[in-house]
Each structure stands twice: as C-alpha cells, then as structure tokens.
Structure 1
Amino acid sequence: MKTRRRPYAEQRPQDLGGGVWSVPVPIPGNPLGYTIVYAVESPKGPVLVDAGWNHPDAWEALSGGLAALGHDVSTVSGVVVTHFHPDHAGLAGQVRDVSGAWIAMHEEDAALVRLMNDFAADQHDDFQSDMLRRAGADPGEARQAMGSRPIPPALPDRKLRDGDLVDLPGRKLRAVHTPGHTPGHICLHLEDADRLFTGDHVLPDITPHIGIYPYDRSDVDPLGEFLESLERIEELGPLDALPAHEWIFPDVAARAAQIRHHHEEKLERLRALLAQRPEPLTIWEVAAMMTWNKPWDDLSPVLRGMAAGEAAAHLRALEARGAIRRHAGVDLVRFQALDS
C-alpha cells in the first residue's frame, strides 16, 4: 500500500493488513504536520511503534484513532520508540500511565534521555551559548538562535540493542540500529511480513536532520554513521517501508541508496567549496555557504542554528575521511581543505 502525503486534516487511521494499523498524530505548529504511529497486533495487546507529540490534541488523535480501529489505548502492551525526539517519544509516558505498557528504546537514546532529565535549564542555556559562540555566530544572532530546553520524554523500562527482538508474541519484530539522526535511532524489521518501520531514518521525500551537538565535537561522526546505516538498510532488500512521516512506500533499499548518494554529492560540493577558499572558515561561515531549502538570509535564527549543526556533521565527515582539517582555537573552531 502506498499513500501520498496529505494535510493532517485529510489523514485517517488505517488498517494496513497483516495485523498492522496506522494512526496519524498531529504535531502542533510543525511543518511536518503529523507523526504516523503504528500499532502491531499482539495477544497481550497492541504494541505501538512511536507514540507522537505530548499535546492534548495529539493524545485525542492517538486514543481516538486506536478506538476507531477497534483498540482501546488502555490495552496497549508496549511502546517501541524509534528515537527519543518529542514527536516520537512524547506520549509514550502517558500511554504507559493509562495502560501499564512498557516503553523500549535503544540503549544509546535511553542514556540521552537520562542525561536530559539531569540537565538543568541554566546548564542548557550555557551549553547553547558556548556552542554558538565557538561556531562563529555573532553574539546577537547567537542569543536569537538559542532554543528553549526541551521537555525530556519518559525514561524507558527496556533497552534495546541491534538485533534484539521486541516483546511481540507470535511475531518477529527485530531492532536494527541505524544511528545518525540520533545516536540510538532504530528501524524495526517485521520479519514475518517483509515490512520495515523506518522512523525518521528513511523517508520517501525528505531527508532527516543529521547534526552534531555541540557543533565542534571531534569524537563522533553522525553523518558517517548515517551513511553506513543506510547501507545496512539497502542490504535488507526491497521491503515495504512504513515511515514515521509523509507516506508508506515500497522498496526501502532503493530509497536508502538515493539518500546516501544525495549526501555523498553534498559532501563533494562542500569539499570543493572549501578547496576554493585559502583561509579556514568557521562552522557558521560554512553553513551560510551551503544550500538549504531556503536562502540563508531567509532562515530564522533557530533554523540557522539547525543548519549549522548539519554543516558541522558534514564537516566532521570530511575530516574523518581526511579531506579537510580543523584549526581548534580557544574561542573558535575553523576548517580548511587539505589541498588549499
């Protein structure tokens, strides 16, 4: 089954066959519009793949959508969170409160959720301010680009690793670790039905945000991990993809290859841009040179901050490949092509 993206108002819960259902859950004020939450049949009660944003309208959509499909939210036995972001994990705690369901996520994202719970608001502000300053944002723009501290999602009861089977009696739902968008992002392979719940890892039209926070970390390579994860998905073959946004589509392997080639081309363009500049550039300067869905001057300060995170991930991937080098100063970090 393939469904094109439509406005949330036109979305409806669907029986996808084979003991799988989908429920669109709105994301208030977000251009993505909605998260697609999936329910998988289980003799203990349905298991959800993701839960949606923590908002009264989203809760009404989730509980009402399940009811329209013949399931009461109080009968949910578990929630598998593909990653910790609020449009995926936000309602997991409320589902657990009303049903007693367990919550599972990959151990790396579980560690981040615990860190978020321990991170005070003033620490969050100091973290962002220093990160933006070292990236090269001027003080005024840095203040505007600082986002509010996100509300941490519920801590999971169960932690998953790559290859683990989810507690789903009678079915085989296996976790596939696909880091990049988050360190603990997972896809879920429903092996008995040749379906793959892809979360945000592989979407039919857009690509997920891949960033580094703080921007100047040199001990991680999220874009490199993302590209390797896409290769893993390609190896699974032409499975039907059930993503968390947009629409259901066939042949996830072909789309994964397309996304991987897109980023490889973007990396080559960035390397060529840096090779043309004799002087090292800050992350902020590099972000302003790159191509986004809007011109840099039209991006809001918060979106510029996200763009800088993505620019940093591309710079780090090039550095890991030995194509560029960093100049790490006390106040700023800069990057330069090796052949400059």
Structure 2
Amino acid sequence: MKIHALDGYIQTLYLAEYPDKLLLLDGASRADIPYLKHFIVHQLQRPLSSLTAVVVTHMHPDHAGGAHKLRTLTGCKIISAKRNRDWYSGVDGALMHLTDIALARWVAQRKRKPKRNLWYSRKLRPDIVLSDGEPIPNFLDWTVLETPGHTDRDLSLYHPQQQILYVADLMVEVKQKLVAPFPVFYPNQYKASLKRVYNLAPKVLLVAHGGQVALSHEVYQHLISTAPRTPATHWRAIKVKARSLVGALLAVGVTKSH
C-alpha cells in the first residue's frame, strides 16, 4: 500500500494505492475532482473505476463535497460515520451549510485559487456506515476511529501495519503551527480526541490542512491549552461580533449625547 498526497483545491488529498484498487481517505470538494481524475488517469495510468471507496470524515465542503459526484463517475462506495441524523438538518443546518460553503470560498480566495463551484448536497447518502474500531470493507488494513469535537461525526483513519493516521481537521497547520480547527462544536470531546491521537503515537500523522505533521509533547500541550473551552461555532462568532457592534454604536450615541 502506498499513500499519494495530492495538492487539492484548498487542502491536501490522500489516495491509498493498491495493485487492484484505490481508496480516497476523504471526500474532497467538487473542485478537487479534476485533480483526482488527472492523477488517477494520467499519473497512475489507471481507469477511474479503480477508485472503489471514498471515506467522508465529516460533512464540510472540502471533505464531503465531491463524494456523490465521485460515486457517479467511478461507482465507488461512500463510507461515513454511523449517525442517526444529518449534520445539516433543519433550518439551522441549511444556514450552516451555506455558511460553510462561503467559508471554503473565503479560504480559496486567501489561497488565491480560481473560483470554482463548491455546491454539494447537505444530505449525505452513504453506502456504508461504520462505528469506532471497525475496518473499512475491502480495505481491511484500515480502521476508522471516531475523533469528534470539530463536529459530532469526525472520523480518523488508521493503518496499524504502517502506523499511518489521517485525522482530517482534528488539527490544522496555520503559519507553521498546529492549531484547533474552526468550528469546534464539542470542546470536551475535541480534547479527548486529541489525547487519543497523541497516545496512539503514529509514525506518520496526516492532516487535511498541513500535510504530514509531528505531534510532539510540546505541540500537544499547546493544542490542549489553546483549544476552545466553550463551543466555538459560526453562530457564537456572529453573536460576539453583533454584541461588539451594538456596544460600539451605544458608545457613539452616549458620546454624542454629551
């Protein structure tokens, strides 16, 4: 088994290559599909149908956005965490879905990437759902680990034989430092997931935003100490900004009245 790291639209894509099949470690975004097609067909010189499984680690645009289209193109199986409800359920979920797409577009703009269509369904239709510790069908050398916190359904993928661990957005690299992602909906679960990864001590640790990273004791302690203690979400960020704006307007009004 060989891992290929591809420079995607706004994140690194990881493709596990076998003699007779390919496994995409995350669902990518719609904008990543041309990169994947070119790499599989021209670099690996294999048919698109070699891609037989795609894991969706969580529902954000750069991790789930390409899954349905890839299944249409390749016939691959979509694999996700076993949950009873959709992440983007209800009116709040629909608004959060739009916000997450806008955030992905903002990241692309910051990276000076060309504008691409990032729209995708907010309801995933997986073929296979897995729980913590279960192997990936047809790729039994990989195990899914539940590492929630960023959302309620984050999966990490572990290859015990080679001690490779892909943790998606459990941590992100910003200015050559590992930090907590945004959002973090479940702070206590997030810290527990960090501890689990640190104790596992993989030889190779892969993240979606930063490539291969090293989780030393110092880095781990920094992540734990700087991780949010209360939920850091879109709505809380908006509320904080709204309060600041109202406070500033009130201050101006008081100043004028004097």
Q: What's the TM-score, normalizing by structure 2?
A: 0.71
CA distance in 1, matches of 2:79, 2:50: 17
Per-residue CA deviations over 1:199-257 (Å, capped at 9, x if unaligned) read 00123433211344xxxxxxxxx101101111111110153111111221234776444
Q: What pairs up with 1:39-58 in 2 under 5 angstroms?
A: 39-55=15-31, 58=32
From 52, 55, 73, the counterpart of 2:48: 73
Is the contact made by 1:163 and 1:176 (CA closer than 8 Å) also made in structure 2?
yes
Partner of 1:203: 172
The answer to whether residue 163 in structure 2 is matched with residue 194 in structure 1 is yes
Partner of 1:164: 134
From 209, 212, 221, the counterpart of 1:248: 212
Shift of 1:68: 4.0
From 219, 228, 235, the counterpart of 2:192: 228
CA distance in 2, matches of 1:252, 1:174: 23
Return structure 1 stretches of 4+ with deviation > 6 angstroms: none
Partner of 1:237: 201
Is the contact made by 1:93 and 1:153 (CA closer than 8 Å) also made in structure 2?
no
Is the contact made by 1:179 and 1:185 (CA closer than 8 Å) also made in structure 2?
yes
Shift of 1:24: 2.0
Structure 2: gaps of 5 or more residues: 99-118, 242-258
CA distance in 2, matches of 1:254, 1:173: 28
Partner of 2:61: 86
Partner of 1:31: none
From 149, 173, 176, the counterpart of 1:180: 149
Q: SS state of the match for residue 152, structure 2? A: coil
Question: Structure 1 vs Structure 2: percent identity of aligned residues?
Answer: 21
CA distance in 2, matches of 1:304, 1:89: 19
Assess, with a 3 A threshold, how the Cα gap between structure 1 residues 166 and 310 changes in structure 2: closer, same or farther: farther
Is the contact made by 2:165 and 2:202 (CA closer than 8 Å) also made in structure 1?
no
From 64, 72, 80, the counterpart of 1:97: 72
Partner of 2:6: 23
Assess, with a 3 A threshold, how the Cα gap between structure 1 residues 199 and 242 changes in structure 2: closer, same or farther: same
Partner of 2:37: 63
Q: SS state of the match for residue 86, structure 2? A: helix
Q: Which letter does structure 2 place at the counterpart of 1:52?
A: A
Is the contact made by 1:89 and 1:153 (CA closer than 8 Å) also made in structure 2?
no
CA distance in 1, matches of 2:161, 2:218: 21
Shift of 1:308: 5.0
CA distance in 1, matches of 2:43, 2:195: 35
Partner of 2:250: none
The answer to whether residue 250 in structure 2 is matched with residue 307 in structure 1 is no
More strand by share: 2
Shift of 1:179: 0.6
CA distance in 1, matches of 2:12, 2:39: 11
Larger Rg, first or second structure (1 or 2)? 1
Shift of 1:260: 1.1
Is the contact made by 2:147 and 2:155 (CA closer than 8 Å) also made in structure 1?
yes
Q: What's the TM-score, normalizing by structure 1?
A: 0.55
Q: SS state of the match for residue 193, structure 2? A: helix
Structure 1: gaps of 5 or more residues: 1-17, 27-33, 129-148, 213-221, 271-282, 288-302, 312-340
CA distance in 1, matches of 2:69, 2:35: 13
CA distance in 1, matches of 2:157, 2:189: 18
Q: Which letter does structure 2 place at the counterpart of 1:74?
A: S
Aligned residues: 214
Q: Which letter does structure 1 place at the counterpart of 2:37?
A: S
CA distance in 2, matches of 1:20, 1:83: 21
Shift of 1:172: 1.7
Q: SS state of the match for residue 229, structure 1? A: helix
